[in-house]
């Protein structure tokens, strides 16, 4: 066999092998990062339940609308986790379009996935007179959380800011201030 042809075949096989390894490592890294994210969130809410026997926390089974359900004595929270591993700025353009921006002058149109189902969810009436709340937790943080008021005005979003009938907080704020959630 010609040495150049042999070198080309070996090089091609080696390159293909490296690409497959890179894909596998990337997949494992992403899954590990998501698992870690959910574990961190669950640890916080399980600590609430441990401290208060009448609180309930459960993982939403097969729900596209929300990830967790957390009940206190007065409130029932439907919680959706928003992964933001690059700590980008999140701008709420309207109730279902949240834009990710790397900087204030970033003009690209990259939107947060998975916002619409919980925003559109009609919450059931509770027989136990608890107040239903929708809560988005941005993990781990966001450089800033902003909401458009009109075409040329924005405001910062804080834990108590009403964002189209829901609240948005970051994991970092929740971890540092456990009382950020109303009980």
The string of pLDDT tens digits covering residues 47-92 is 999 989 899 999 998 877 999 999 999 999 999 999 999 999 999 9
Task: Note whether 83 and 139 are within 8 A (CB).
Answer: yes
Percent of the chain with pLDDT over 70: 100
CA 49 to chain centre: 22
For the chain, how long is the longest CA-to-CA vector? 81
Confidence of residue 12 (pLDDT cuts 50, 70, 90): very high
DSSP state of 124: P
Asked if residue 161 is part of any domain, the answer here is: yes
Classify residue 44: in a domain, yes or no. yes
Q: How far is C-alpha 131 from the geometric centre of its chain's CA atoms?
A: 23
Range of the domain at 93: 39-180
Give phi and psi for 36, each to the nearest 5: -65, -40
Residue 32 domain-assigned? no
pLDDT in tens, 29-43: 999 999 999 999 999
Report how many domains make up the chain.
1
25 lies in some domain? no
Q: Report pLDDT for 15.
A: 93
Task: Give domain status of residue 67, yes or no.
Answer: yes
**Structural domain includes residue 13:** no
Would 4 be classed as within a structural domain?
no
Does some domain include residue 55? yes
């Amino acid at each position: 066999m010609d040495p150049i042809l042999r070198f080309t075949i070996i090089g091609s096989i080696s390159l293909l092998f490296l690409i497959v390894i890179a894909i596998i490592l990337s997949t494992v890294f992403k899954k590990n990062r998501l698992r870690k994210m959910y574990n961190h969130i669950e640890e916080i809410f399980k600590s609430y339940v441990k401290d208060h026997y009448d609180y309930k926390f459960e993982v939403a089974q097969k729900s596209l609308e929300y990830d967790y359900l957390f009940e206190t004595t007065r409130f029932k929270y439907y919680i959706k986790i928003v992964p933001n591993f690059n700590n980008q700025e999140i701008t709420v353009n309207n109730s279902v379009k949240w834009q990710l921006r790397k900087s204030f002058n970033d003009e690209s149109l990259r939107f947060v996935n998975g916002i619409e189902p919980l925003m559109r969810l009609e919450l059931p009436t509770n027989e136990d007179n608890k107040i239903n709340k929708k809560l988005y937790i941005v993990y781990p943080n966001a450089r800033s959380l902003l909401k458009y008021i009109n075409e040329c005005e924005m405001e910062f979003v804080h834990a108590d800011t009403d964002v189209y009938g829901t609240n948005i907080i970051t994991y970092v704020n929740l971890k540092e201030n456990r009382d950020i959630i109303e009980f």
